[in-house]
Structures are given as structure tokens and as C-alpha cells.
Structure 1
């Protein structure tokens, strides 16, 4: 029986390699087909939830002074949508991202969105591009930490650390007050889902503290005429 790989126009050495080349190509095709049939790993996207469903109270009570809410600055490690965790019992200096979990937007934007919603219930909240009158309260935040901190393999908490600076617009701007907030909330489960819930709850608790501080600092400082 004639060898199907024999061809008088092909050198014998090349003919001897043809069966092996065909086998390699067939294996590559089968591997590619198998890879296409394997479902890709699914990434879960999280945010802070729907927020308050109660109507804003600004029209039902005396509004607080208008505030300009600047964009929230963030450390370089937080300038992404990664959900981060740290292992305090192994290497707390190394932030690690969950492979299959993402925020819907960087944490600084999520935090600003929720803060704007809360402050806007009793006052007007302006954005950086809005026109502001001299002496308007200006709130700036720096997000320094936003991660799930594991003290043990099964025990963790959502950790949020923020530096807040309050001033009044003008030339030059007038500083009013500055402080830092550190809030932790225990995670119900030792995974990304538990960490996300804990970070959202820690953020809400931080915003309550921040709102109270803003009112106290503004009340203790007379506005510039």
C-alpha cells in the first residue's frame, strides 16, 4: 500500500517528518477547540448598593450652607476598580486584588457619589465645574486606604481611611479645618463578597461622621464677608 505522505517532489527527509507535523497540527487544533468550549471565568462587579430610598429633606427643613465637593483624590494603589485585601498576619504591606471581583468604578468615585447623595439631603452640593461665590465651603477628601483587612484567615474587616480638608473658596482659599477618619466594619464572610459589604458599610459609617464634622467645623468658623 502506498504511503500517503510519499511524494516524488518532496525530499525523503521532509517526507519522514510529515506524519509528525500532521499529528502536532491536529493536537493544536483539538486544544484550540477545547479552549473555546471552556467558559471564561466570570468577574462579579460590585458597588455600594442603591443608597437611601427616602426623599430628600432639603425642601422640608432649613437647608444647611452650600458646599463645593471636590473630586476625591486617591492613593495610586486605589486608582482602579480592583477589590483589594491585605493579610495582616502574613504581609500587611502588600495589597492584593481579588481575581474575580471588581468595583463598578474606582472606590474614590463610589465614595464621592455616596457622600454627595448624603450631603445633598439637607444642603446644595456643587461640583468642581460649577460657579461658586467667594466664601463657599469647599470639602476635599484624600482616600488613603480602602481594603479588606484579614487579621486571620477567617476574620476580616472593611477598612477605610480618609483625610478631610475643609476650606472656603477665594483668592487665596481660606483653610477652615482638617482631620482624618479611620473606620472599620467586620466582614460577615472571608471572601470578596464579605469584603465588599464590609467596605460599603464602613463607607456609610464614615460619611455619617464626616457629615457631623462638616457641620461642627462650619458652625465654629465664621464665613468670610
Structure 2
């Protein structure tokens, strides 16, 4: 009997034993409910025609083009990027940002938003590139998020670059873990949308 008990104990210590090695469910996140700016842009005069704006899909570097939530340990190895094992985005950050950006531009400006160039011809094209979207740990218990995005506004017919701007946001996380990263990154994306839409409204020609 003792030998049987010992044998069962050894088996249950192996990685495949589900009794002692239960898999943790994966937590899936998005950016949450986006809050529009408190003061909406004033309506344009009726004689000003609306521009049609093609909002291209936001792009991202290869390392960021996934559903993983990235973080760095600056106090340990600042050149190495890690990802949380049991936490991920519901879609890539670039895809999430694209949808939020189109919705915000349509809701907050007078522009006609186009998401597919095959649907209609656009007057201008907005390109956005997500350059950084991660959490960094200065110490084991102190972290912040870093977000970087480049926006380029192009006149479609002439292919002339009308304007380009880099947006950068750094903010403390409410907790030094995946949940804290998601909360801070969601708030940062909302702030980024507000800044980008305001820049766009001031940059687009009004004729």
C-alpha cells in the first residue's frame, strides 16, 4: 500500500498531472470605453464642404504586431522585451487603435471617414504608425507605460505630405502588473485619440 501511495505521489508531481498543475485562464483585454473630449469642436459653417478622409489601418513594428502585452525590466535588462503569459489583448493594439480612431474622427469632426480606398475616393489620407506601446518597470514594484505614435496627413491626388507629428505619452500604472498596464494603456490611448483628433482638425485645410 505504501509503495502504491508513493508511486501515485511521484506521478502527480510530473508536469502532466492536472491535479497539481492546473492551467490558469487567460485574461483578455481591450482599451475599454473611450471617453470623447468634454468640449466638442464647434460646427463648421454650412458653406464649408466636408472633406473625405481615408483613415488607413494603423501599422506597428513586427514585435508589436501581436495580441501580447509587452513589458521591460529596466532595472534588470533594459534591452529585453517580455510578454505576459496569461494576459493578452483581444486584438492587436494597432487594430484596436484603428477602430477607435475612425470612430472618434467620425464623431468629433465634420470629416467624412473612409476606411477602404475601394469604396470611394478620398481627399486626404491619414497614416498612423504605433511605434511603442508597452509597460516598463523601473523597479520590481514601480512601473509606467510608454506610448509612441506617428501620424502623417497626405493629400491624396498630389501625394503631398501636408503634416506629420509624433505623439508620446508616459504615465504611471495603478499597479505593477498586467492589469495596471492595461488600465494605463487604455487611458493613454484615449488621451492619444484626443490629441490626434485635435491636431487633425487644426491641420486639415478648410475651403
Relative to the length of structure 2, the TM-score reads: 0.80
Which position in structure 2 is the counterpart of 1:6?
none
- 5+ residue gaps, structure 2: none
Give the superposed CA RMSD: 3.0
Residue 126 of structure 1 pairs with residue 109 of structure 2? no
Query: 1:184/1:169 Cα in 2 relative to 1: closer, same or farther (>3 Å)?
Result: same
| Number of corresponding residues | 192
| Equivalence for 1:148 | 135
**Contact 2:35/2:190, CA 8 A, preserved across alignment:** no
Alignment of 1:1-225 (within 5 A): 30-31=11-12, 35-37=17-19, 38-52=21-35, 61-62=43-44, 65-121=51-107, 122=109, 123-133=111-121, 136-170=123-157, 172-219=158-205
Pair member with larger Rg = 1
Structure with higher RCO (Cα < 8 A, 6+ apart): 2
Give the corresponding residue for 1:19.
Answer: none
Could you report, residue by residue, the CA deviation over 1:154-208 in whole angstroms, capped at 9, with x for unpaired residues? 22222110111110112x5221111211111210000000001111111111111
Partner of 1:120, secondary structure, is helix
The question of whether the paired residues in 1 share the 8 Å contact of 2:70 and 2:135 is answered with yes
Give CA-to-partner distance per residue, 1:18-56, whole Å, 9 cap, x none: xxxxx9xx76995489723443221100101133499xx
How far residue 142 of structure 1 moved from its aligned partner, in angstroms, is 1.0
Normalized per residue, the structure richer in helix is 1
TM-score, normalising length: structure 1: 0.74
Please say if residues 145 and 170 of structure 2, whose CA atoms lie closer than 8 Å, have aligned partners that are also in contact: yes
Does the CA-based 8 Å contact 2:36-2:104 persist in structure 1?
no
- 1:16 is matched with which residue? none
SS at match of 1:161: strand
